[in-house]
Amino acid sequence: MPALIISLGAGRVADLPLLAFRRIMDLPVGTVYAPPLDEALEAFLPVAIRPYDAATCPDDAVVVAPDPQAWRIASAFPGADTVPARELLRERAVGAGVGRLAGVGRELRLRCPWDREQVPETIVPHTVEEAFEVAEAFHGDDRARQVDEIGDLLFQSVFLARFLEEAGVADLGAIADIQADKLISRHPHVYGDVVAREAGDVVGLWERQKRDARGGEIFHEVPVGLPALAFGAKMQKRAAAVGFEYPDADAALAKLREEVAELDADRSADELGDVIFAAVSVARALSVDPELAVRRSAATFRDRVTRAAALARADGHAFESLGPAEQLAYYSRAKAGGP
């Protein structure tokens, strides 16, 4: 395990942090280990440099590397000392990664014919799609896919921020600062003197702050572009923030039964909408996200129908040519998990 990891900033001579240079100058050893470095930087450093290999690096070694690599090495060796301190090194490494992605976005806008033609209206549908792909990825345990989907969604934010920068409104750094300021202001129990001992206290605090910012309006600025179930849940949350909600799941279920009875008497779109909206209330009472619950059920339905078709095919039948009763029989077998 390395004894000390010194971060070299962005990895160029002009960006070499003074603290890092001083620590290297003060080293009692004349050799350090490093991943491949910028040639000019390697020539500038007043020490001999050997290639870094985690498997063979001596326990008392000093490792030098640009911020992103230094942070990855430090993460692999939590007992090693770092220059700068670990939390600052992490911030610099994250900033370097996001900055590189922003640079890619800038280059694409300048040099890629497709990217040059885009406007916010053409990008936003991709953003919505990527958000749902993130949600789907986090329903599973494929960490590599989760990393990939988060990256896709992050780039959507970078690209949309680029439009604002081109319009002279704000760049990605300013947007990040605004968001950080907003989060700090909404967490006075962390950054101030307000006391919030439970999660429910925090949610109530947030809702009061947002309602005050909206001038007391309950439903102001609910995004109309949300998917229907998410839109319904958002409306109900806003009403709950002023105390208007069912006291428990039993009350919500009773309302759902009432709405189902009304739908049975009047099979109209309005009554059906009331049933679905009441089901959202039940979901919220059970602390279940209705949008994600329906997506899970839809995925389960897809898998069962696919298996039902496979079972029919194994018996020499085309699933689409079967009658409803026969299809249902195969579906029931698929649901039961039997052959």
pLDDT in tens, 3-60: 999 999 999 999 999 999 999 999 988 899 999 999 999 999 999 999 999 999 998 9
Query: What are the residues facing 49 on neighbouring strands?
Result: 32
307 Cβ neighbours under 8 A, 6+ residues apart: 334
Give pLDDT < 70 ranges for the chain: 214, 216, 338-339
Residue 36 pLDDT? 96
Quote the CA–CA distance of 51 and 31 in Å, as a whole number.
11
Asked if 156 and 127 touch (Cβ cutoff 8 Å), the reply is yes
Residue 292 pLDDT? 85
Average pLDDT along the chain: 93
Q: What are phi and psi of 79, to 5 degrees?
A: -85, -10
Question: Nearest to residue 38, comparing CAs of 82, 69, 62?
Answer: 69
Question: Nearest to residue 230, comparing CAs of 286, 276, 298?
Answer: 276
Quote the CA–CA distance of 110 and 57 in Å, as a whole number.
43
Quote the CA–CA distance of 81 and 1 in Å, as a whole number.
11
- What's the Cα-to-Cα distance from 70 to each of 62, 86, 92, 121, rounded to whole Å? 11, 10, 10, 39
Task: Provide the whole-model pTM.
Answer: 0.72
Rounded to 5°, angle at Cα 65 from 59 and 66 = 155
Quote the CA–CA distance of 81 and 245 in Å, as a whole number.
53
CB atoms within 10 A of CB 14: 8
Residue 339 pLDDT? 65
Q: What are phi and psi of 318, to 5 degrees?
A: -90, 120
Asked if 231 and 224 touch (Cβ cutoff 8 Å), the reply is yes
Q: Collapse the DSSP code of 12 into the 3-class scheme (helix H, G, I; strand E, B; otherwise coil) and give the result.
A: coil
Asked if 322 and 330 touch (Cβ cutoff 8 Å), the reply is yes
Quote the CA–CA distance of 246 and 281 in Å, as a whole number.
8
| Per-residue b or e along 244-270, where b marks 16 or more CB atoms closer than 10 Å to that residue's CB | ebbeeeeebbebbeebbebbeeeeeee
